Structure 1
């Protein structure tokens, strides 16, 4: 998870909550290769003016090769700071 957090730092998030949900997918075909299932809550000024698809693309671009080596599934909620109230 440290590698994922480090990769997402490029988006300068004010909030980043990353949860490893891999235990919920034990035995799942995608979990057999060692890549994990994660849930992400990320709040970043980089998302201002972007629609949800563009925000997801920005996250996927940030994690890059980790999608092939560490991440099997990434469920995300991505917000601009003014859209998020904890």
Structure 2
């Protein structure tokens, strides 16, 4: 099973999201071909109601502890309540260009 699929399944099970996108952005970084090290997660869930962003992030890191301890090097999180998602027009943010590990 790919790392992307594993992340998707864990988040689906734990958060029952209204909307979930897990994107493997490893190709945008200085990593070997077919790497699964850099991911962007955009998720909309009622479970984020009343939680500050740091608490939402902590919940994700807890759920993906094994992945973060192993092959996943970077995890960009964009976590919204349904109302927040609607207010931003149901659109996810774009990722910035990679600076190449050496700050270039």
* Length-normalised TM-score, structure 2: 0.71
SS across alignment from 2:79? strand
Higher helix share: 1
Q: CA deviation at 1:35?
A: 4.9
Tell me if structure 2 keeps the 8 A contact 1:18–1:41.
yes
Q: CA deviation at 1:73?
A: 0.3
- Corresponding residue of 2:28: 24
Aligned residue pair count: 81
- Corresponding residue of 1:82: 83
Q: Which runs of 5+ in 1 are unaligned?
A: none
Tell me if structure 2 keeps the 8 A contact 1:44–1:79.
yes
SS across alignment from 1:84? helix
Q: Which runs of 5+ in 2 are unaligned?
A: 91-104
Larger radius of gyration: 2
* Length-normalised TM-score, structure 1: 0.85
SS across alignment from 1:65? helix
- Corresponding residue of 2:64: 63
- Corresponding residue of 1:5: 8
Quote the RMSD (CA, aligned, Å).
Answer: 1.5
Q: Greater relative contact order (Cα 8 A, min sep 6): structure 1 or 2?
A: 1
